[in-house]
Amino acid sequence: MKRVGFLLKVKSDKLEEYKKYHEHVWPEMLDALRRTGWHNYSLFLRDDGLLFGYFQAEESFAKSLQGMAREEINAKWQDLMAPYFENLGGAHADQNMQELVEVFHLD
């Protein structure tokens, strides 16, 4: 498994609403994530909207994203979430995730 970290930025005026949606992620979306190799997935949100995501990918970040791109439910979720993020340039959040380079890991 590959450990993956990424960043996005949630609009400051939409933080509470964004958090509410993530209290009840659609079961179909959760199933799609699992099916496409997203394991141990967590999101962490700072008060200024900086969002850090972490998951373990079966193969790679790119492969996990490709798998989700084929899922119809992902397109619906991404459409719903798009207004919550800054600097997407008309794309979906999953097309703008900035992968971080792992520089240290302690088992």
| Catalytic machinery residues | 22
Number of alpha carbons in the 13 Å side-chain half-sphere of residue 72: 0
Q: Give how far Cα 51 sits from Cα of 9, 12, 44, 72, 106, Å.
A: 6, 11, 6, 24, 22
Tell whether the torsion through CA atoms of 25, 62, 36 and 44 is positive or negative: negative
- How far, in Å, CA of 8 to CA of 52, rounded? 7
Tokens of 96: 């703008």
